[in-house]
């Protein structure tokens, strides 16, 4: 009874809202990116509407932390928007399996994306793709150019040079060599382990071998990155154990630290905060001349609500999202979120250019724990946060951490049993 009247009321408001533009189809987008509201309203939507008369688009984001819950509730009640912003991997896969997201494999725009780009929004055998990839974030290191010039330190390309540079900053004492803390745990795992790791496990090769069970987390290529981040300990600031992620950001942008292990999403924030010149370098390789690999992590995509009544118009929009026009607007408005499409896009931000240029010389991969491996209990991603933080603090040895993670993974994941 209560529910019925609520539905009627909702229906009433929808009717009133739509009757005004009876001829136009209105698409509603669900998203967690409320930071991007103005970008959508002022740039993306006008560009689309100009090219596609008769379709109106509404961008209705909710808070990032609430997004999954809000979306699920809306989908259940049948009031969710036509287009749904997709989180990578299992969260979206679950929606697809429950029939909430439509299969988009036959969408023309899909040809503009590589298999790695699509992997985050496919079912396990890759037979169906259900979201159009939008953007990825790339890991690397951002450095303070002024500090490097002041001490005459060259940008490191190998690990030895990297530690030599850290040592030099430490001896000098003006700058904290590296801005990272372990309080929030994910920093050590994401900015540390997943940042430098691909060079050790050879990107996709190692990641896929881990999923298939051919490699294990106790293998040297999976333990060695822990040994390296354990050496970072001596170069972090005082009290790094209680240093949080915003602390690290502030230390670096205030010019107190020389190197910041980064994700490219920091670029726009750092551009606004820092008043010194910044540069970026990719994760140093272990020996000069080694093949390099980067974490080019698929982060955000757009899918179609299977219950949408405007599926035709929504598909038009999704097709448009695969064009270079969309990619150019998006990548330039949000430097650090790189388009996943194979179009060649001109970007203006020098830091963003630096990051994206690595795609040309290095193999791209995604974070090792994201696909399939974090499905069970214990959760490998959360365990990796914990292990990385413990290793950086020196509270656990790299070998022990590897053994513990492997034991946890093997306890539920058949290919490792």
189 closest CA partner among 414, 408, 401: 401
Output the smallest distance, CB 209 to other proteins, in A.
20
- CB neighbours (10 Å) of residue 77? 12
Q: Which of residues 234-263 bind other proteins (CB under 8 A)?
A: 237-244, 247, 250-251
Size of the chain in residues: 417
Quick one: 165 or 188, whose CB is closer to other proteins?
Answer: 188
Query: Rounded to the nearest 5°, which phi and psi values hold at 370?
Result: -80, -40
One character per residue 69-108, x = contact with other proteins (rule: CB under 8 A): x-------------------xxx--x--xx----------
62 is a site residue for other proteins (CB under 8 A): no
One character per residue 370-389, x = contact with other proteins (rule: CB under 8 A): x---xx-xxxxxx--xx--x
Alpha carbon 314 to chain centroid distance?
25
Distance from C-alpha of 204 to C-alpha of 191, rounded to nearest angstrom? 18
DSSP strand pairing (257-263 vs 176-178)? parallel
- CB neighbours (10 Å) of residue 35? 11
DSSP strand pairing (257-263 vs 131-144)? antiparallel
Output the smallest distance, CB 247 to other proteins, in A.
5
DSSP string, 51-63: HSTTEEEEEEE--
83 closest CA partner among 306, 413, 272: 306
Q: Which of residues 263-302 bind other proteins (CB under 8 A)?
A: none
Quick one: 70 or 155, whose CB is closer to other proteins?
Answer: 70
Output the smallest distance, CB 237 to other proteins, in A.
7
Quick one: 199 or 369, whose CB is closer to other proteins?
Answer: 369
CB 95 within 8 A of CB 307: no
Output the smallest distance, CB 319 to other proteins, in A.
30
Q: How many residues bind other proteins (CB under 8 A)?
A: 42
156 closest CA partner among 48, 281, 65: 281
Quick one: 235 or 240, whose CB is closer to other proteins?
Answer: 240
Quick one: 184 or 277, whose CB is closer to other proteins?
Answer: 184
Which residues in this chain contact other proteins in the complex, by CB under 8 A?
A: 69, 89-91, 94, 97-98, 181-186, 237-244, 247, 250-251, 369-370, 374-375, 377-382, 385-386, 389-390, 393, 395, 408, 411
């Amino acid at each position: 009874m209560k529910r019925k009247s609520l539905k009627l009321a909702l229906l009433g408001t929808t009717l009133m809202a739509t009757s005004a533009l009876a001829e136009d189809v209105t698409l509603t987008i669900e998203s967690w990116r409320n930071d991007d509201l103005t970008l959508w309203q002022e740039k993306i939507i006008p560009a689309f509407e100009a090219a596609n008369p008769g379709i109106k688009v509404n961008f209705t984001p909710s808070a990032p932390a609430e997004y999954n819950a809000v979306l699920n509730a809306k989908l259940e009640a049948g009031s969710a928007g036509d287009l749904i912003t997709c989180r990578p991997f299992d969260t979206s896969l679950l929606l697809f399996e429950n029939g909430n997201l439509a299969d988009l494999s036959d969408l023309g725009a899909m040809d503009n994306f590589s298999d790695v780009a699509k992997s985050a929004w496919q079912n396990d055998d890759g037979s169906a793709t259900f979201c159009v990839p939008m953007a990825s974030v790339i890991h690397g290191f951002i450095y303070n150019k002024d500090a490097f010039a002041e001490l005459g330190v060259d940008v490191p390309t190998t690990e030895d040079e990297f530690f030599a540079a850290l040592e030099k900053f430490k001896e000098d004492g003006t700058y904290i060599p590296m801005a990272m803390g372990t309080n929030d745990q994910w920093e050590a795992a994401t900015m540390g382990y997943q940042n430098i790791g691909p060079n050790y496990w050879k990107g996709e090769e190692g990641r896929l071998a881990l999923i298939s069970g051919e490699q294990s987390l106790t293998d040297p290529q999976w333990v060695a990155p822990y040994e390296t981040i354990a050496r970072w300990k001596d170069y972090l600031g005082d009290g790094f154990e209680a240093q949080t992620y915003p602390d690290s950001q502030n230390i670096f942008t205030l010019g107190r630290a020389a190197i910041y292990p980064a994700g490219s999403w920091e670029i726009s924030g750092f551009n606004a905060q820092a008043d010194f010149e910044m540069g970026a370098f990719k994760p140093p390789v272990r020996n000069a001349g080694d093949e390099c690999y980067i974490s080019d992590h698929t982060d955000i995509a757009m899918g179609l609500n299977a219950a949408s009544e405007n599926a035709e118009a929504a598909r038009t929009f999704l097709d448009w999202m695969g064009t270079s026009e969309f990619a150019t607007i998006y990548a330039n408005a949000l430097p650090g979120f790189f388009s996943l499409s194979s179009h060649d896009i001109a970007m203006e931000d020098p830091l963003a250019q630096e990051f994206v240029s690595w795609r040309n010389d290095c193999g791209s991969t995604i974070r090792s724990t994201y696909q399939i491996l974090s499905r069970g209990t214990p959760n490998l991603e959360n365990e990796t946060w914990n292990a990385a933080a413990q290793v950086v603090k020196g509270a656990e040895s790299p070998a022990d951490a590897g053994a513990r993670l492997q034991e946890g993974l093997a306890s539920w994941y058949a290919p490792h049993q």
